[in-house]
């Protein structure tokens, strides 16, 4: 990853997994996005943007989320967007891919050991790098297994 990076994860385990990637971002210009303003305290020294949490059944929240993410992407202009999930991360990758032509990376949650998450399955369409954290879930055309975050 070169230049500016935008790292996005929804709450709970997705955010914990993103935080565990912090050493990989050493020396990079990284901004973080998540669904709780409280998470800003977890990434001191980095720009942080809280966004609305949304899921596929709540169209109003999705509309708000899309607007928030488009604004963040246009403000930050990242070269790479990386997500550990879930829905906000998938939406951000899609917007980044088509709005600003950023490189996109999806890391499916470690919690999905038997099958990919719903967002993870859809991420194959917008992720330049599509990863799983379970070797048994990798395929010849992806997702690929490069190791686990936890």
3-state DSSP helix/strand/coil % of the chain, to nearest 5: 40, 20, 40
* Domains along the sequence of the chain with CATH: 4-145 (3.40.50.2000)
What is the rounded CA–CA span in Å between residue 47 and residue 55?
Answer: 25
State which residues of the chain have pLDDT below 70: 1-2, 110-113, 115, 149-150
Whole-model pTM: value is: 0.93
**CA-to-CA dists, residue 122 to 61, 85, 86, 90, angstroms:** 19, 11, 11, 8
**CA-to-CA dists, residue 84 to 59, 60, 62, angstroms:** 22, 23, 18
What is the rounded CA–CA span in Å between residue 14 and residue 107?
Answer: 10
pLDDT digits (tens, 9 = 90+) for 61-87: 999 999 999 999 999 999 999 999 889
């Amino acid at each position: 990853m070169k230049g500016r990076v935008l790292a996005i994860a929804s709450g709970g385990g997705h955010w914990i997994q993103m935080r565990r990637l912090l050493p990989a971002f050493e020396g990079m210009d990284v901004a973080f996005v998540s669904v709780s303003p409280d998470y800003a305290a977890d990434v001191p020294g980095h720009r942080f943007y809280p966004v609305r949490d949304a899921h596929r059944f709540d169209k109003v929240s999705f509309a708000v989320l899309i607007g928030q993410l488009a604004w963040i992407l246009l403000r930050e202009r990242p070269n790479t967007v990386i997500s550990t999930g879930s829905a906000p991360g998938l939406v951000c990758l899609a917007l980044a891919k088509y709005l600003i032509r950023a490189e996109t990376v999806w890391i499916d949650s470690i919690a999905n050991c038997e099958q990919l998450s719903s967002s993870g399955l859809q991420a194959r369409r917008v992720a330049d790098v599509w990863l799983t954290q379970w070797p048994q879930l990798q395929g010849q055309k992806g997702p690929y297994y490069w190791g686990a975050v936890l």
